[in-house]
Amino acid sequence: MENVVIKPLGQVLEQAGLISDMQILTALEIQSEHNKVKFGTILVKQGILKQKTINFFAEQLPELLQQPTTQPLGYYLQEAALIDAQQIETLLEEQKQTGILLGELAVEEGLLREKTLNFFLKYFGQKEKKVKLLPPSQQEIIKSFNLETKAASPSHLLQEVFFWTGGHPLLTRKICEIISNSNDFILTGIEPIWVDKLVQDHLVSDWETKVLGEYFKTIQKHLLQNQTCLPKNLLKLYSQILQQQEVYSNQSQEKDELINLGLLIEQENQLKVANRIYQSIFNLDWVEKQLSALEKKSQITVNKVKKTTPDIKQALTTTEIKNEPLTKIAAWISALGLLLISPLVIFFNNSQYKFSQENDSLDSQSLSSSTFCIEPIPAEEITQENWRSRLEQEQQRLQEKFPDNCQSNLDKLIVLNAIELGKENRVIDGINSLCKIRATSKSFNEAKFWLSRWYDSAYWGEETQLYLNSMSNCPAAKNFPQNP
């Protein structure tokens, strides 16, 4: 189990889908100005979360993670003040009717975000999986969907449906709905052929565009953008089970995650794909395609890291001069000219230097009181980019005379830009930006926070660690462990 106890509260809340990146950044900024105010207190005062929710994640969660999971999922959600007792009771009644798990129903009803559900399932989902309801009896399904009017042998028809769905409530219900809405009457003996064609036409073939396309896309997304395990490791284990049909169950995070995603089931210490529909959609060809794409993306990132600067000596090497006599004459003329005009040049440079010093002093005073340095950072990303570009230009021009309040705003803009780069999967560029933040900056804690997130990420951690190890100086990553 991942140890979330040692992680900052903001990072845990974000992992649980309860606060956004911008809300974290804002709270950290307020905290930097008021050191004695707790991070959670700021979120409560801003109306983002309830005090009971903060208490759960800050105080109860570390203790609960040290204990075996003995309560149903609803208990933990209620303790965190995310769902109240009345809502749980309503969901349990609906669960009896549909066979769908309480957490999934809460997401469908808009009571929880999917990211929040996944967080709780990760740490408290064992009880939820054990109490999973069996699908309704065959007679209940036949009656609910009027299958006795659709087939000469409704029970044989339903057996073929179960053959494809493995009893999965949602998949079973959807296929039965399609049968119920069909004008066909299925004769005895043709049930396997008929259901096979129905599944291929309505669910498997071009599945992205079919009735359950969004549902399957969600599974695909959580598999390929998984934040708990490396996607390539999940795909390799899943591929092994696809090829061997059944694999002996071992204790691994990848196994638990694939079970949580619903792709695998565990029966008598054996792992196998949950149903034939998943097996047909997420087949070996699909797995190999995804692994190839991940490998290509990883190679591109490694190449970025290993990219070296061009040889300076080679860049400065001039082309061979063929007309050597003419060159010598030109050199003598140039030397004579320099000898005559040097005093004038020295006098002019001294005057220009004094003027430049005075001008820079005036410019720094003017910039210090400008909009870029005293007004709050704009929310619009385009405006932020314009401000950052202007301040970076002024910083390069004024150097040591760059005003402190302008530097403070520039640092904030650099962190905001790094966050956006991370969202675009341009984490290497984001690291370069965050490493510009000095240890004395008010934005230093924010820079360290985001570097830590990428460093610990299951998806980007390897590339982040490799790149930071190649850097000679990055203040925000100073105390990070270094890989050999």
Q: What is the pTM of this model?
A: 0.44
Helix (H) or strand (E) holding 439: none
> What is the pLDDT, as a whole number, of residue 318?
41
pLDDT at 107 over 80: yes
Question: Which residues does residue 188 pair with via DSSP β-bridges, in sequence order?
Answer: none
Counting residues of the chain whose pLDDT is more than 90, the rounded percentage is 20
Query: Which of 411, 424, 395, 422 shows the shortest CA–CA distance to 476?
Result: 411
Task: Give the span between the Cα atoms of 230 and 2, in whole angstroms.
Answer: 14
> What is the pLDDT, as a whole number, of residue 206?
92
The tens digit of pLDDT for each residue in 210-249 reads 888 888 988 898 888 876 788 899 999 999 999 887 777 7
Question: The tokens of 105 are what?
Answer: 């129903």
> What is the pLDDT, as a whole number, of residue 356?
47
Other beta carbons within 10 angstroms of residue 467's beta carbon come to: 23
Cβ contacts of 298-304, under 8 Å, gap ≥ 24? 298/462, 298/463, 301/428, 301/463, 302/463, 302/466, 304/428
Task: Give the span between the Cα atoms of 447 and 25, in whole angstroms.
Answer: 10
- Domain at 215-304, CATH from 1.10.8, 1.10.150, 2.60.120, 1.10.10: 1.10.10
C-alpha dist (Å) from residue 298 to 214, 463, 468, 469, 476: 27, 8, 16, 17, 24
What are the residue boundaries of the structural domains of the chain, listed by start? Answer: 9-130, 138-205, 215-304, 371-477
pLDDT at 192 over 50: yes
Considering only residues 466 and 199, tell me which one the structure prediction assigns the higher pLDDT: 199
> What is the pLDDT, as a whole number, of residue 312?
38
pLDDT at 112 over 50: yes
| 31 neighbors 24 (Cβ within 8 angstroms) | no
Mean of pLDDT over the chain = 78
Residue 152: is it exposed, middle or buried by C-beta count within 10 angstroms (0-12/13-18/19+)?
middle
